[in-house]
Structures are given as C-alpha cells and as structure tokens.
A = this chain, B = another copy of it.
Amino acid sequence: MTNQPQHLSGAFVATTLTHFQQRAPLVHCMTNDVVQAFTANVLLALNASPAMVIDTEEAAIFSPLADALLINVGTLTRDRIPAMRAAIAAARAANVPWTLDPVAVGTLPLRTGFCRELLDQQPAAIRGNASEILVLAGIDAQGRGVDSLHHSHLAITAAKQLASRSGAIVAVTGETDYVTDGERLIAVSGGDLLLTRVVGTGCALSAMVAAFCALSGDRLMLVATACQLMARAGEQAAASGAGGPGSFQQALLDALWQQGAEVQP
C-alpha cells in the first residue's frame, strides 16, 4: 500500500469506452427528483440506457433485468426506502452490481441511517464528495448540504477505510478525484469549475460509475474511467467557449457524446 496514486492511461480509457458503448448497459436509476433528466441524458450521451423504475414491486422486478443499479438518496423520503431495499436485494440475488451515491449524508438522519445500513449490502461502488465519504467512514464531518466543505485529498484515508470495510470501490470526487479499492489508489485530475455550477454533475457521474461497473474487468479502473471521462468532458466543454453554466451544460453532454464518437471504429 503506497501513498502514491496511480493514473489511468489514455489508451485504457479509450478501450474501455469502446467496450462500454458496445455493451450499452441498461442502468436502473433510483435517483433524486432534481437530477433525473440530466442523469438520463448523460447516460444516453454515452450510449447507455437509463430507466427510472421506482414502484416497490416493479423495482424489485426490474433491477435483475438491468445491467446495473444506482441508488441516490438526494431527495429520499421514508416511502421510497422499501423500494430501494427491494431493488438492491433483487439486484444482489441476480449479481447485478449496484452503486451508492450518499448525497448529503451527515446531518440529515433518515438518509444517514439508510446509507449506513446499505454499506452491509455489498455495493459495487460508492461515489461521494469528501464530506460524504468522511461521514460514511465514521469520521466526523461537517456538511450543510450537497457541497463539500473538505478537499477530496483529505478523505483519501477515509475512502480506503470505507472501501476495505464495505468491499466497494470508493470514489471521492472534487478538484481531483481519488478512487480506491482499499489498497490501490488512482487519482483523476481535470474537470472545470463550471462542473460545480450545474446541478447534477456529481449525481450523473455516479450513474456513470454504476454503468461502468456493468463491464467485466478491474472494477477499480472501470470506476476511475468513469471519473476520467467526466473530467475530460468538463475540460472540453469549458474549452468549447461556454459563456456560463447554461451553455456549459449542453457542451458537457456534447463532449461526452463526442468522446464516444472519437473512439468508435
């Protein structure tokens, strides 16, 4: 176990994206009310298929048919918890990987208790900001909401602990993203400040993480690839001359699409 993070090669990212687009995973998204459309559009831009099925009975039937499941607690209500539990249980029984986005865990009790409960359900991956990862790892953290008050590198140790305990690949995202399986550590740099001025870029990245977990291969590197693609798309969108967060959001979707077009044979 070294403290020196590794980086992905461009060739690996390109090859993985090609595999991803050929596989075109169907992603069952149980996510928050705010980011549903953007999450779907991010997955569609990458040739994946989003499906938002939320009824308890239907969710348990659908998750085993999907290639991946995303659980995001951003607008959790007590009513939705049974549906999420049922979808996870059915996904696990069918060996469908599921990913957790623990939005704003910490101060808010319903989601915090629920996310802690879910750590025992063998998530394939967890993506959060530094505050969220610190909370899930059991380290005190102060967060008022969805914005992290901590730099991502301050949560590296917490991320490794959380990965070791839960068995999940943990991605703590920020100006630099760190992805770990508890031992190895990959750093992903890039992105742009405007990614923080468009709602749902983190939540959509979690959906990408979920989707990349559907591929076979080294899951640590697959999750890091999702982070790398979003970071690079953010750079490309900024470089395209976006005049603000409105045009940036559209340029981001275009950039994700174009990355795929570039690697296609």
With a CB–CB cut-off of 8 A, which chain B residues contact A61? Answer: 107-109
Whether A246 and B41, one on each chain, are in contact in the complex, defined by CB atoms closer than 8 angstroms, is yes
Contact B258 A254 (CB under 8 A): no
Write the nearest CB–CB distance from A16 to chain B, whole angstroms.
20
Contact A58-B111, Cβ < 8 Å, known A26-B144, A50-B199, A52-B33: yes
**CB contact under 8 A between A253 and B246, given known A41-B198, A61-B108:** yes
A104–B38 alpha-carbon span in the complex (Å): 20
CA distance A172 to B246 in the complex (A): 27
Category for how many chain A residues contact B: 35 or more
Query: What sequence of 0s and 1s flags, for each residue 26-43 of chain A, a beta carbon within 8 Å of any chain B beta carbon?
Result: 100000111111101100
Query: Provided the pairs A34-B36, A147-B49 are in contact, do residues A253 and B257 lie with their beta carbons within 8 angstroms?
Result: no
Query: Is there an interface contact between A51 and B254, defined as CB atoms closer than 8 Å?
Result: no
A244 within 8 Å of B (CB atoms): yes
The complex is assembled from copies of this chain, and their number is 3
When C-beta atoms are compared, the residue in chain B nearest to A111 turns out to be B58
The answer to whether B110 touches A58, judged by C-beta atoms less than 8 angstroms apart, is yes
Instruction: Select A243's contact among B37, B38, B258, beta carbons within 8 Å.
Output: B258
* B252 touching A249, Cβ below 8 Å: no
| CB-CB contacts below 8 Å: A128-180 with B | 144-147
Judge whether A118 is part of the interface by a CB distance below 8 angstroms: no
Within 8 A of B (CB), among A60-83: 61-62, 65-66, 74-79
* Residues of B contacting A66 in the complex (Cβ-Cβ under 8 angstroms): 144-145
A57–B75 alpha-carbon span in the complex (Å): 12
A220 an interface residue at 8 Å Cβ cutoff?
Answer: no
The 5 closest A-B pairs by CB, nearest first: A246-B253, A244-B254, A246-B250, A244-B257, A40-B199
Supply 14 further A-B pairs (C-beta < 8 A) apart from A44-B197, A44-B245, A50-B199: A37-B37, A49-B145, A49-B146, A51-B144, A51-B145, A51-B146, A58-B76, A243-B257, A244-B254, A244-B255, A246-B251, A247-B254, A249-B253, A250-B250
